[in-house]
Chain A
Amino acid sequence: MTEQEVLDRIARARARRPRVREERITLAHGAGGKATQNLIEAIFLDAFDDPALAALEDSATVEVDGAHLALTTDSYVVSPLFFPGGCIGDLAVNGTINDLAVAGARPRFLAAGFILEEGFPVAGLTRIAGAMSTAARAAGVRLVTGDTKVVPRGHGDGCYITTTGVGRRDPTVRLGITTARPGDAVLVSGPIGEHGVTVMLARGDLEIDADLVSDTAPLHGLTAALLGSGATVRVMRDATRGGVATVLNELADASGVAVVLEEDTVPVRPAVRGAAELLGIDPLYIACEGRLVAVVDGADQERALAALWDHPLGRDAAVIGRVVADPPGLVLLRTGFGGTRVVDTLVGDPLPRIC
C-alpha cells in the first residue's frame, strides 16, 4: 500500500463506531481523551438514546413549558482536596457554573451531592462547604438542595462531590460545537495549564515547587461579556480535563473543520512551561478550571478580544489560531520553530516521561 492508502485506511478506522474493548475501567477512561469518549459513546449514548444527550455539549439545552434552560452535572474527584488557589469545593461550584455559562446560560441554582469517606475530618468538610458557599455567593448562584452519603474507610478519596446546575438561556443565542466554519478565530481567555500543574505538584510525589495556583474561576461574567460584545460567537467551551487540545479536537471533529494554532500565541506562564518541560508533558493537554475557549467569526476577533480584556478574568486573552477547511477533523500547530505538527486527541492521562 502507498502511504496515502494507509492514511486513508486509518481515517476510516477512526470514523468507525466506538467499542469499549477493555474489560475493566482504567484511569485512562477518566482522562477526558479518546478512552473517555469511547466509553461515553459506546455505553451511555447507547443506553440512553436521547437527542439532547447525543449533542454531547457541556450542558443540555432543554425546554420546560416555554422556559429555555440549560442543565448540567459534574463530579469532582480531585486529589489532593486542598491545593494552592482553592479546593474541591471551588471546583465543584465554578466547574458547574462554567458548563452552564458556555451554553450561553445564566447560572441560577445548584444542587450538591457529597460522598464522604469514613474517617474524613469534619474540619475538612467545613472548609469545603465554606469554600462552596463563598464561591456560590460570589457568582450570584444559590445552592438549594443536596445529599450526603458516607462510605467505609478505603472506599473513597476523602470526599467526592457531584454538582448539578440549572440556568436560564436566551433562546436567540445560537451556540454549538458543530457550528465552527473556515475563517473563524479561536481565542483563549488566559494562560493555560495552571490548574493541572498546580494539582500535580500539590500531590507532593514529584517534590517540585513552583509559584503556581489553580486557575479555578466562574466564567459566566466573561461569557456574558463576550456574548454582549456584538461579536458572532459560534462555540464556547471551558477547557477542563484534557486541556485546550481536547476541546479543539472535539470542535474540529464535530464541525468537520481543521484548527490551526500558532504556538507562539498560546499564553503559558513560565512556571507552567518549566514544570511541563521538566516532566515532559505538553501544556496543551493539561487541565484548566477557569479558562474559556471561544470560536468567533473571524471578522469579529478584535471586538471579542476587547470584550475579554475588559473583564478581570480575561486580561491575558489571546487569539491562538484559526479555523480552516482542510484537513477536516484535525488540529495542527505551527511551532515556534516554524515547522508544523498535529495535535491529536489525548489517549490517556498525560504521563510525565523520562525519555
Chain B
Amino acid sequence: MRFVDEYRDAAKARALAARIAQLCEPGRQYRFMEVCGGHTHTIYQHGLADYLPENITLVHGPGCPVCVIPMGRVDDAIHIASRPDVIMTSFGDMLRVPGGMGSFLDAKAAGADIRMVYSPLDALAIARAEPDRRVVFLAIGFETTAPSTAVTVQRAAEEGVTNFSVFCNHVTIIPGIKAILDSPDLRLDGFIGPGHVSTVIGCRPYEFIPRQYRKPLVVAGFEPLDLLQSVYLLLRQLADGRCEVENQYARVVPWDGNPAALRAVADVMTLRPYFEWRGLGFISHSALRMRDEYAAYDAERIFPVPGVRVADPKACQCGEVLKGVLKPWECKVFGTACTPETPIGTCMVSSEGACAAYYNFGRFTRERVKEAVR
C-alpha cells in the first residue's frame, strides 16, 4: 500500500532507534504523551515499544473520543435508540461502550434498531431510504470527524431531508490537552501531537504549549516510522534546547489546517459552554453542539433525553489512566473485574483505549515475549 508500507520499514526503524538511543542523556527519564488514541493503537499494533530504550516512556493521553464520553451520555443515546420510530446509526467504536444500563449491543438485543455505519453520509442515505422512520446519527470524534458530520447536516438541509438528526458528542482537543497540562500530578517532557486532528485545525493551535508551558510538541503521523521519527524530533529539541511545534506529518498536515472544513463546522456547530469528559470532569468550551439554525437536525432538541449525570462505577479508574497518571495494570480492577469482555470503563472497551491496548497487545512482560519470538 502506497504511502503506508514505506513508513513500516524495519531497517529504517532500527537505524532510527539507534539514533534515538544516542540522543538520550544517560540516566535521564523521558516521558512523552501521545495524545491520540490512534497513536496508542499503532504503538501496540506494530510492537513499537521494542524499538525504544528503557528510559523513554510513552504515556497515553485522553485523545480517545470514545473513552471520554460519560456514561450518562451513552444512556441518553440508548434512550433515543430504544424508541420504536428511531433508527440509531453509529460508528462501530461505540457499540460495546457500557452506559449505566448496558451498551448499544445490549440495547440491540433488547430490540432497538441500531445500525453500524462507516460514514455519516451512510446514515443520511438510510434516512432517505426509510422516510417513515427517524434516523439519528451518533456523532463522536474530535475535530477530525466534526467536519464530516457538519457537511452531512448541510447536505440534509439542502436536500430537504427531514427525518435525519445528529446526537452530537464531538469534543475538541485543545481543552483536553490543556486539562492535562494544568493537572498537578503530571510530569511530561513533550507531546506527540494528533496527526489527523491537525489536518483540520493545523499546527498553530498547539503553539501555546511551548510558549506557556515550555513543552515541545511534534505533530505525528500514524505509521510506526512516523512515531519513531517524532520521538527522535522531540529528543533533538530537548538536546538542542529548543521548544517549539514541529510538523513530522507534513505530507498530510498543512500548517494552516483545512479552512473549508473549519468553515463547515463553524456553519453548523458551536461550542458548548462546558461538557463533561469522563475521567477529567467538566471542561469549558470543549465540545460542540448544533447551532440554533440547525435545530431541526439536533437530536437533543427533537427527542427528550434523561440528561442524567451518571457517576462512574466506584472501582473505575479510567480518569487516572486517561491522564496518564496510572498505567493500565495499576488500576485496581484491570484484568479481573474489568476485561475486554466485561469492560467497566471506556479505556477497556475502546479498541484504542490504553487498557484495551495493553490487555490485548502488551500484557506479557517484554522479556518473556522477546524470548518466545527469538
On A, residues with C-beta under 8 Å from B are 3-4, 6-7, 9-10, 13, 21-22, 24-28, 34-35, 38, 205-208, 258, 260, 270, 273-274, 277, 279-280, 324, 326-327, 330, 332-342, 344, 347-348, 351-355
Contact = CB atoms under 8 A, between A and B. Distances in A.
Nearest to B360: A344
B329 A353 contact: no
Contact of A352 (B44, B64, B108, B118): B118
Given A24-B110, A342-B364, A348-B105, 12 more contacts: A7-B329, A9-B336, A21-B342, A280-B351, A327-B372, A337-B8, A340-B373, A342-B369, A351-B95, A352-B116, A353-B351, A355-B37
A26 B105 contact: yes
Contacts of A352: 91-92, 116, 118
A337 B335 CA distance: 28
Nearest to A338: B10
A327 B362 contact: no
A286 to B, nearest CB: 14
Contact of B364 (A9, A327, A336): A327
Interface string B344-374: 0000001110000001111111001111110
5 smallest beta-carbon distances between A and B, as pairs: A339-B47, A351-B92, A10-B335, A338-B10, A337-B46
Contacts of B22: none
A205 B117 contact: yes
B373 A338 contact: no
B54 interface: no
Nearest to A279: B118
Contacts, number: 163
Contacts of A280: 92, 351
B1 A277 contact: yes
Interface size class of B (residues with CB under 8 A): 35 or more
Contacts of A341: 44-47, 361-362
B336 A207 contact: no
Nearest to B141: A354
Nearest to B332: A1
15 contacts: A6-B329, A24-B106, A26-B108, A258-B372, A280-B92, A280-B351, A333-B47, A334-B373, A337-B13, A339-B224, A340-B369, A341-B45, A341-B46, A342-B364, A355-B351
B45 A353 contact: no
B48 interface: yes
Contacts of A4: 365
Contacts of B95: 351
B109 interface: yes
B47 A337 contact: yes
Given A273-B1, A344-B360, A6 B50 contact: no
A291 B141 CA distance: 37
A206 B125 CA distance: 11
A322 to B, nearest CB: 10
A334 B373 CA distance: 7
Contacts of B37: 355
B204 interface: no
A14 to B, nearest CB: 8
A39 to B, nearest CB: 12
Given A27-B108, A355-B37, A355-B65, A10 B46 contact: no
A274 B3 CA distance: 13
Given A352-B116, A353-B92, A355-B38, A332 B141 contact: no
Nearest to A13: B336
Contact of B91 (A22, A277, A340, A353): A353
Most buried by B among A22, A337, A344, A352: A337
B92 A335 contact: no
Nearest to B103: A26
B66 interface: yes
B18 interface: no
A351 B93 contact: yes
B149 to A, nearest CB: 11
Contact of A6 (B64, B335, B350): B335
A326 B371 contact: yes
Given A27-B109, A355-B66, A342 B51 contact: no
Contacts of B10: 336-338
B105 A327 contact: no
A338 B105 contact: no
Given A9-B335, A9-B336, A355-B350, A326 B368 contact: yes
Interface string B320-347: 0000000101100011100111100000
A342 B362 contact: yes
Contacts of B122: 205-207
B79 interface: no
A28 B105 contact: yes
